[in-house]
Amino acid sequence: MSYSFEKFIRIGTCALVAAGLFLPSPAFAFPAKNSPLIQQSACAQGYRSKEEYEAEQRAVKKSESLMHSGRLQEAIEYLRDEIAQNPRSAVLQFEMGNAYLRSRDFTSAIERYQQAVRLRNPFPEACLNAAYACMDAGMELQAIPWFHKYLRENPHSERAKEVEAELLVAHAKSQMKEKRNFDAKQTLERALQISPKSDLVLFSLARVRTELGDTQGAIRAYEEILQINPKHSAALLNMAECYQTSGQLQQAISWLKKYAANNPNAADLGQIQNLIVALSEKSSEQKSDPQALDYVGCITEAGRFYRWPANRLPIKVWVAQGEGVPGFKPEFRNSFFDALNSWMKAGQGRLQYVLVESKEQADLTAEWTGSPYDVKPTGHNVEQGVCMLKTLDRGHNFIEIGRADIRILTIDRNNQQPLSDEEMKKTCLHELGHAMGLQGHSTNNHDIMFFSMSNTNWPVLSKRDRATLFMIYQHYRPLVSVQQ
């Protein structure tokens, strides 16, 4: 598998976190000034005196004005002093929670909201903001009881529908963490019925569709978000990711430019600019139509391709045992041979291999490593494996492959976990494609030789992968029938 734009993938993941940020969204339940809630409480909540109530209101006003002007640390210090004088005030604890939430100190925010609810129950805003703080902290399971509590206590609130949908998003996010993406999709579809314009629901739905390889569906969800909020920065960025995944690089570039124009002070702007440059280079390299029957144009240089000369067949293959390599599983060798056999089959009998006893006797070797440093990037490509070719140019219409040495990383570059069997099969298919002579990358995200990491290809050769391989070797005599 190819990880051409590793940086980009990482940005995509961050974007997910950023979109869970509720602060700028109307979902955030700050009480309106002089809200009926607080006025009622003046008599109902047992303030010892009118003075005490008025002092609290002044403190709320002051801390909110500090927060609105972005002076969060000052607000926190101010509230700390006020709470020291009035430790029984639920409202001040709630304000403190808001100051911490705005500073993205989720643990402290949750503690303060809990404290506020302990002092005054029910306290719907504190309850809801506790749920949002849990969501922002990535603790969806902890958010669920807060959402339930809110709905139990405020079944007829005008926010009830929205909160019900948010509760389902919390469920869906925890399903996604367990890799139950299909269940998560169904949960989110229910949420969308309850709250069809919620950007939170739409955004989560786009993410799960991406995970399921439904890039077109993800694009539709992002389009809806951007209709509601054209400056939704995470949606802009992920839109670019979707188009990059589907090989439509010009569109990807134009979304990245929109993101950059809307976020001139973003911390990741440098990375985005680099990505635009890399994608532009890649885009100008695109020589073939992603819908054509093969992608020969992507793997030839001035009309010449790489291939094993007929006198080197069958290819002598040796694969390391992998003992002691971190993350290695014996199943990985099976994945390798499955992949090799798939390519042989694509050659329709024109390609064959034999296993040899030692590395020295082999022309095609494969070794395993747990260290990303052993799998060095070539150009912009940072792959899960690397294939090094020794070639000989005799001036024919093709370049001869003398030997191929493959090195495969057993640990997933992105999450440092051992690779799943499916990802391993994809990696082996991709690197072996290079070893068979496919020196280049496809621009169609359903091909195994697609240039970028993608959930949209399967651990099998596409029709186009097979056709391209066959094109290289079509004039060779079928070895299988010769032997028969």
Residues that bind Zn ion (CB under 5 A): 2
Q: Are strands 315-319 and 353-355 parallel, antiparallel or unpaired?
A: parallel
| Shortest CB 136 distance to Zn ion, Å | 37
Helices 6-19 and 269-285, interaxial angle, to 10°?
130
Q: Are strands 364-369 and 385-392 parallel, antiparallel or unpaired?
A: unpaired
| Shortest CB 466 distance to Zn ion, Å | 17
| Shortest CB 13 distance to Zn ion, Å | 22
Our CA dihedral for 118, 124, 127, 129, rounded to 10 degrees, sits at -130
Closest CB to Zn ion among residues 15, 406: 406
Residues 6+ apart with CB under 8 A from 313: 351, 352, 476, 479
Closest CB to Zn ion among residues 3, 150: 3
Closest CB to Zn ion among residues 60, 279: 279
Closest CB to Zn ion among residues 63, 427: 427
Give me the residue whose beta carbon is nearest to Zn ion.
2
Task: State how far the Cα of 357 lies from the Cα of 400, in Å rounded to an integer.
Answer: 24
| Shortest CB 430 distance to Zn ion, Å | 6
Task: State how far the Cα of 399 lies from the Cα of 146, in Å rounded to an integer.
Answer: 65
| Shortest CB 438 distance to Zn ion, Å | 9
| Shortest CB 449 distance to Zn ion, Å | 7
Closest CB to Zn ion among residues 2, 468: 2
Closest CB to Zn ion among residues 175, 384: 384
CA-wise closest residue to 298 among 423, 458, 475, 469: 469
| Shortest CB 465 distance to Zn ion, Å | 12
Q: 388 - beta bridge partners? A: 405
In DSSP notation, 29-84 reads: -PPPTT-HHHHHHHHHTT-S-HHHHHHHHHHHHHHHHHHHTT-HHHHHHHHHHHHH
Closest CB to Zn ion among residues 287, 477: 287
Task: State how far the Cα of 404 lies from the Cα of 387, in Å rounded to an integer.
Answer: 7
